[in-house]
Every structure is written in structure tokens, then in C-alpha cells.
């Protein structure tokens, strides 16, 4: 099966007063239709930058400086601005962090959904827009009558489902959801995740779920990518990541999760992630890595295949 998403050597740089910040440093990944990838990492690791770069929504002083993002055979980095506007929502859609708070409080939901359709693909009749809004709302478990309501009449979970409905209006091949359940209670979190799961199955789209909640990832995704300082450190199946992580940073992340067998014992990761303006030489994790050796300071380990479906960026991990 052909990948529906191919990201290769994606690079994003911010030009700040303090200097040049490499926020995304040559990220590669592929997703098959229907696959679900969890993108995890500490704040500032580059997860949201990666999503914005794939959508070509990096704003100055940031710039995409290299790489390709191919969705269903079309390289988004080569499209004109107008073509890219059409590709958003129809090829690739992005449900940003806190999306539910971005709904316009003085517009009915249906009008906002209609605007989104017209903004990204102008050639719809009023009947087609109304039909698509109804079916998108039904797909996310809401009644079509929600289209006539204002955001303040909806609960947080319903608003988040409206945002997912907007994201699937034009049946994208790839959906990126950035922390879609933050600020929701656990019951609503589960409902929102089930909604994402069902729309993903309905559309056969690939999903990238960005977040910190490893428990949620374990239940929802097929593969997990761990990011650190703008680089992918490990990309493995969810099973391998939780039972046998290979990269020392992934090992530390998994170890830091609460454990039923060692209640009350927490294993933090020592130190802090380095500032992107002053990355250490070689492997950027070396100041915190318990296995670091001299070679780790000398060169950046590339992300390499280290087993079936396992990519790891570490000098010490062998095939
Ligand atoms: Fe640790 Fe070296 Fe591997 Fe980096 S390359 S994670 S410092 S062992």
C-alpha cells in the first residue's frame, strides 16, 4: 500500500533577535491510509511546529527551509498559495490546540462551517453546503440541528466535536489533531477520542495526534513518534514503544509514567530540554542521557531503521 503522507527532511527555522533557531531539523515520516500516529514530546520539542509546517502555516520570523510534504501524491511544498488554500481541509486538515475556543461566539455553527467550506473550496452550491454540514455533524455524533445553535449553547465536548466536524468537511486524507482533548474532563476526552476514531474509520484518513497524554496515545494510536529539540528520536509501533522503547529518551519518558506496581514512585527525567538557540553539539539529549559517551557529543545520530518498523536516532542502539 502506498503511503498517504510522506514527510521528508522537513526543516523549519526561526530568525530571532537572539539568532537562528532550528525548530524542526530534518524530520522524516510516512503514514499509510487509515494509520494513526501519536506525536509526543516535551513542550518546545517541535510537535506543533511540525503540524504547522505540514499545513504550510509557519509565520515569519519562521520559515520552511527545506523538505517535502507529499499528501496522496501531491507535494504541498510545491503548490501555489491558492492551491495550498484549496488543499487545506480537502487534502490535509488541522484541528489546532484550543480549537473549540476559536469558534466565533456571534455566529451560528452552520454559518461558520459554511464559511470554512467556501474559504477552502468556493464551488459549492447552497444545497451541497447544507448537506455536507449535516453529514459532518452526524459523523461526529451531533444532531444536524446543532448547525442552528451558537457556541455558547454547546458543552466543551460538543464544541470540540464541532471543530472535528469542520476538520472533516472536505474529507481530507490526513487529519492532524493538536491536543484535541486538553481542558476536557476524562469522560468527555474519551467521547472526543471515540469521535476522532469513528470519523477516521469513515474517511479512511491517516491521523496525527499531538499530545502529552501517553495513556490516551496507548489506547488510540498505531505508532508513536517521540520528538526532542526538533528531531524525531524514535518512531515505533505503540506496542514496541510501551513495552520495549529503544532510545534512552523514549525509555525515560515511558519510565516516568505512573505505574500500578510501583505506586507512589516517580521517575523524572533529570535536567531540562536545552534551549533551541543553544543546542549542545552532537546528540541533543547527551547532557541528560545516562548512557552518553564521547561519540555522542561528536556527531548527531541519524534516525535509522533499527528493527522491523522501528526507527531510532541513537549511536548506541544497534539493529
Ligand atoms: Fe544517549 Fe548517545 Fe544515544 Fe544520544 S546518542 S541518546 S547521548 S546514547
Residue 11: CATH number of its domain: 3.40.50.300
Q: Which residues have a Cβ under 8 Å from the Cβ of 137 and sit 6 or more positions away?
A: 143, 144, 146, 147, 162, 165
Phi, psi dihedrals of residue 233, rounded to the nearest 5°:
-100, -40
Atom number, ligand 1, closest to the C-alpha of residue 289: 1
Please indicate, yes or no, if residue 127 is contained in any of the structural domains.
no
Please indicate, yes or no, if residue 108 is contained in any of the structural domains.
no
| Ligand 1 environment, Cβ below 6 A | 248, 283, 285-286, 289, 291-292, 296, 301, 314-316
- CA–CA distance, 258 with 48 (Å, rounded to integer): 25
Residue in 290, 303, 319 with CA at minimum distance from that of residue 234: 303
Q: Which three cell numbers stand for residue 217?
A: 496515545
Q: Which residues have a Cβ under 8 Å from the Cβ of 105 and sit 6 or more positions away?
A: 150, 151, 152
Q: Give the distance (Å) from ligand 1 centre to CA of residue 287.
A: 9
For strands 36-40 and 206-210, give the pairing: parallel
Please indicate, yes or no, if residue 67 is contained in any of the structural domains.
yes
Q: Give the distance (Å) from ligand 1 centre to CA of residue 29.
A: 21
- CA–CA distance, 319 with 309 (Å, rounded to integer): 12
Which residue segment(s) compose the domain that 10 sits in? 5-102+172-312
- CA–CA distance, 212 with 285 (Å, rounded to integer): 19
Which residue out of 293, 302, 318 has the highest number of ligand 1 atoms within 8 Å of its CB and is therefore the one to mutate?
293
For strands 19-31 and 5-16, give the pairing: antiparallel
Please indicate, yes or no, if residue 122 is contained in any of the structural domains.
no
Beta bridge partners of 312: 234, 304
Give me the number of domains the chain comprises. Answer: 1
Beta bridge partners of 234: 226, 312
Which residue in the block uniquely carries the three cell numbers 539568532?
Answer: 19
Phi, psi dihedrals of residue 32, rounded to the nearest 5°:
-85, 160
Question: Directed axis angle between helix 186-203 and helix 156-167, to 10°?
Answer: 20
Cβ 215 vs Cβ 85: under 8 Å = no
Q: Give the distance (Å) from ligand 1 centre to CA of residue 18.
A: 28
Which residue out of 296, 298, 311 has the highest number of ligand 1 atoms within 8 Å of its CB and is therefore the one to mutate?
296
pLDDT (tens, 9 = 90+) of the chain, 319 residues, equals 899 999 999 999 999 998 999 999 999 999 999 999 999 998 889 999 999 999 999 999 999 999 999 999 999 999 999 999 999 999 999 998 887 888 999 999 999 999 999 988 768 899 999 999 999 999 999 999 999 999 999 998 899 999 999 999 999 999 999 988 887 888 888 888 888 898 888 899 999 999 888 888 888 999 999 999 999 999 999 999 999 999 999 999 888 877 777 777 677 788 888 999 989 999 999 999 999 999 999 999 999 999 888 999 999 998 6
Sheet holding 36-40, edge to edge: 92-95, 174-178, 206-210, 36-40, 223-228, 231-237, 310-312, 304-307
Q: Give the distance (Å) from ligand 1 centre to CA of residue 311.
A: 14
- CA–CA distance, 312 with 12 (Å, rounded to integer): 21
Q: Which pLDDT belongs to residue 319?
A: 66
CA angle 177, 66, 117 (to 5 degrees): 40
- CA–CA distance, 113 with 165 (Å, rounded to integer): 8
- CA–CA distance, 138 with 130 (Å, rounded to integer): 12
Please indicate, yes or no, if residue 302 is contained in any of the structural domains.
yes
Cis geometry, peptide bond prior to residue 135 (ω within 30 degrees of 0)? no
Q: Which three cell numbers stand for residue 196?
A: 476522532
Atom number, ligand 1, closest to the C-alpha of residue 317: 3
- CA–CA distance, 220 with 223 (Å, rounded to integer): 9
- CA–CA distance, 158 with 23 (Å, rounded to integer): 34
For strands 62-71 and 74-75, give the pairing: antiparallel
Instruction: Kindly report the number of other CB atoms within 10 A of residue 197's CB atom.
Output: 14
Residue nearest to atom 7 of ligand 1 (CA): 286
- How is the chain split among helix, strand and coil, in percent rounded to 5? 40, 25, 35
Q: Give the distance (Å) from ligand 1 centre to CA of residue 286.
A: 6
Beta bridge partners of 278: none
Please indicate, yes or no, if residue 164 is contained in any of the structural domains.
no
Please indicate, yes or no, if residue 129 is contained in any of the structural domains.
no
Please indicate, yes or no, if residue 226 is contained in any of the structural domains.
yes
Amino acid at each position: 500500500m502506498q503511503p498517504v503522507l510522506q514527510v521528508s527532511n522537513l526543516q523549519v527555522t526561526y530568525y530571532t533577535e537572539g539568532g537562528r533557531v532550528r525548530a524542526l531539523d530534518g524530520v522524516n515520516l510516512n503514514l499509510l491510509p487509515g494509520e494513526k500516529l501519536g506525536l509526543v514530546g516535551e513542550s518546545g520539542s517541535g510537535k506543533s511546529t511540525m503540524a504547522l509546517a505540514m499545513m504550510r502555516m509557519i509565520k515569519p520570523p519562521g520559515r520552511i527551509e527545506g523538505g517535502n510534504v507529499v499528501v496522496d501524491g501531491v507535494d504541498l511544498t510545491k503548490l501555489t498559495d491558492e492551491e495550498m488554500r484549496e488543499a487545506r481541509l480537502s487534502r490535509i486538515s488541522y484541528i489546532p490546540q484550543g480549537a473549540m475556543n476559536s469558534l466565533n461566539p456571534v455566529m451560528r455553527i452552520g454559518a461558520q462551517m459554511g464559511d470554512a467550506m467556501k474559504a477552502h473550496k468556493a464551488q459549492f452550491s447552497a444545497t451541497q453546503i447544507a448537506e455536507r454540514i449535516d453529514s459532518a455533524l452526524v459523523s461526529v455524533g451531533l444532531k444536524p440541528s446543532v448547525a442552528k445553535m451558537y457556541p455558547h449553547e454547546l458543552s466543551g465536548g460538543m464544541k470540540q466535536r464541532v471543530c472535528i466536524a469542520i476538520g472533516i468537511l472536505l474529507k481530507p486524507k490526513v487529519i492532524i489533531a493538536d491536543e484535541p482533548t486538553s481542558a476536557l474532563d476524562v469522560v468527555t476526552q474519551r467521547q472526543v477520542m471515540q469521535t476522532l476514531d469513528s470519523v477516521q474509520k469513515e474517511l479512511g484518513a491517516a491521523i496525527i495526534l499531538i499530545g502529552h497524554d501517553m495513556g490516551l496515545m496507548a489506547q488510540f494510536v498505531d505508532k508513536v513518534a517521540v520528538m526532542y529539540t526538533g528531531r524525531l528520536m524514535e518512531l515505533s509501533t505503540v506496542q514496541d514503544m510501551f513495552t520495549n522503547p529503544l532510545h534512552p529518551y523514549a525509555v525515560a519518558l515511558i519510565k516516568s509514567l505512573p505505574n500500578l506496581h510501583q505506586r507512589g514512585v516517580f521517575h523524572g527525567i533529570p535536567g531540562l530540554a536545552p534551549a533551541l538557540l543553544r543546542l549542545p553539539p552532537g546528540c541533543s539529549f547527551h547532557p541528560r542521557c545516562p548512557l552518553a559517551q564521547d561519540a555522542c557529543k561528536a556527531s548527531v545520530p541519524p534516525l535509522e531503521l533499527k528493527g522491523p518498523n522501528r526507527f531510532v536516532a541513537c549511536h548506541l542502539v544497534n539493529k
